[in-house]
Every structure is written in C-alpha cells, then in structure tokens.
Amino acid sequence: MRRLVIVAFVFVVLSSVAAAGLKVSVVERPMGVKVGYPVGGTADFFAVFSDEPTTYTDIFTPTRGIHTLPMIKIVVLDDGNNRVILGRVDAIGMSELLTLRVAQYVEERTGENIYPYLFISGTHTHSGPGRMAEFILWGIAMDTFLQEIFDDLKANLGEAIIEALKPENFRDAKIGYASRELTDEDNIGMIHGDRRSSNDELYGHGYIEHTMNIVRID
C-alpha cells in the first residue's frame, strides 16, 4: 500500500511542478562496491556456499572481480516550493531501513530532512552487492547481513545526494508525462505481471494494472 501512496504522491508533485519554474540536478556515480562482496541472488549453482567465511562473505562465495561497475543515480526535482529526490541503485532491491539511514546521513551533514520526499529503488540486478538487509529471506538470497556493506552503500548514496543538492548543480528543466491503457496485444502480463501476487490483498487474485505511466525530464 505504501508503494501506491508513494507513486501517487510523486505524480502529484510532478504534475504541480510541470507548469512552474522547474530545476533539476542529476548525479551518477559508481556505487563503491569492493571485490569480494557477494552478489545479490546469484552464484555458481554447484558452489553457492563458501567452504569458509571470507572478509566480505559468510555463506556465499566471494566475487573475484568487477566487470561493469554498479551505479547510483540521483535526480532532484525542485520548483522552489516542492522537492522530490529520486534514487536508483544497481541492486536487487532497496530496504526501507536503508532509505531512512541515507536520509539521516544527509540530514547530519546538511541539516535538511529529506526523508519525506526521498524515494530510492533498486534495478533488481543480480550483479549488485548482497548482504544489505538484516532479514531472513534476504539472507538466504543475498548472504547474511554485513554492517560494512550496509554502511558503504549508505555513505555512497548519501554523498551522491549531497552532491545533487548543491545549488550550482541545478539546471532549468522541462517535464512531460503521459499515460496509456495497455491491452492484451501489448503482452501486458510480461509488462505488468504480478509475479509475487502482492496485488492480491489490495485488488483481489489475478489483478493486473493496465495503466502505464511515463515521465520524461529534459
């Protein structure tokens, strides 16, 4: 339910700033992962479990190198009255606790409480860092929780946001948005499939959202 509220809020704010003097700041930087971090949700099928723990792993095998850098992207939208901070990380997911800790990190260094308008999501890549959340299912899929990895990601996200909030990084911007009703010809099940049945308790079994919303910022 909170996710639906967040999406609705973001679109309301975006709609309000669309006709106003919109400014945007964009920062993209490497996530700061280290060789040896386990990856979230993938490993050698026949050697998932490590023979013995290493510096960054507990039950998973450690990574041996980095082929492409996992990235952080921050977009800040501001019209002088409303502000929205959108974050994207190359990770299997994003926890509410990590979002809160990132907001606290930024507030400690800038004095600004960004939590009410901070939204961070993961790209759901299985090549991002594991051990990010202290939750039993995350432990099974991503190795057990490690505070160092959590703190590294918190700091890198926080620093990217602090950089994006600097006044000199804002530029004039335009925003456009549109909605389209999908049909069966659009292969809607692949686009908006409810793989984990999370919609069932809200809308009933088998519900699929037919509306696709698109936002563009120039």
Token couple for 29: 């930087």
pLDDT of 57 strictly over 70: yes
82/152 same-domain check: yes
Do residues 73 and 88 touch, judged by C-beta distance below 8 A?
Answer: yes
pLDDT of 2 strictly over 50: no
Among 35, 57, 74, 92, which residue's Cα sits nearest to residue 162? 74
pLDDT of 3 strictly over 90: no
59/150 same-domain check: yes
Q: Given this model, what pLDDT does residue 29 score?
A: 94
Looking only at the bridges linking them, the beta strands covering 171-172 and 211-217 are: unpaired
208/166 same-domain check: no
Condensed to tens digits (0 to 9), the pLDDT of residues 159-172 reads 999 999 999 999 99
Looking only at the bridges linking them, the beta strands covering 211-217 and 83-89 are: unpaired
* Start-end of H helices in the chain: 2-18, 96-110, 136-142, 147-164, 188-191, 200-203
Q: Given this model, what pLDDT does residue 11 score?
A: 52
Q: Given this model, what pLDDT does residue 8 score?
A: 47
168/194 same-domain check: no
201/124 same-domain check: no
Q: Given this model, what pLDDT does residue 216 score?
A: 87
Most confident of 25-39, 52-66, 197-211: 25-39
Q: Which H or E element spans position 200?
A: helix 200-203
160/213 same-domain check: no
CA dihedral (118, 122, 127, 131) positive or negative: positive
Which is more confidently placed, 8 or 73?
Answer: 73
79/155 same-domain check: yes
Give the type of residue at 136.
I
3-state DSSP helix/strand/coil % of the chain, to nearest 5: 35, 20, 45
Backbone angles phi, psi at 52, to 5 degrees: -155, 150
Residue with tokens 């389209």, as numbered in its chain: 180
pLDDT of 22 strictly over 80: yes
Q: Does the pTM exceed 0.85?
A: no
Cβ-proximal residues to 187 (8 Å cutoff; 6+ apart), any chain: none
Indicate the DSSP class of residue 49.
B
112/179 same-domain check: no
Residue with tokens 């594991």, as numbered in its chain: 130
191/93 same-domain check: no
Q: Given this model, what pLDDT does residue 50 score?
A: 53
Token couple for 48: 């998932």
Q: Given this model, what pLDDT does residue 180 score?
A: 85
Mean pLDDT of the chain: 81
44/151 same-domain check: yes
What average pLDDT does this structure show over 123-145? 79
Share of the chain above pLDDT 70, in %: 77
Which is more confidently placed, 104 or 213?
Answer: 104
Q: How far apart are CA 146 and CA 139, in angstroms?
A: 10
Query: What residue numbers bound the domain in which 29 lies?
Result: 2-172
Q: Given this model, what pLDDT does residue 160 score?
A: 98
Cβ-proximal residues to 175 (8 Å cutoff; 6+ apart), any chain: 14, 17, 18, 22, 77, 215, 216, 217, 218
Which is more confidently placed, 33 or 194?
Answer: 33
Q: Given this model, what pLDDT does residue 44 score?
A: 56
Q: Which H or E element spans position 73?
A: strand 71-78
130/208 same-domain check: no
Token couple for 108: 């400690």
Q: How confident is the model at residue 198 (pLDDT cuts 50, 70, 90)?
A: low
121/200 same-domain check: no
Q: How many domains does the chain have?
A: 2
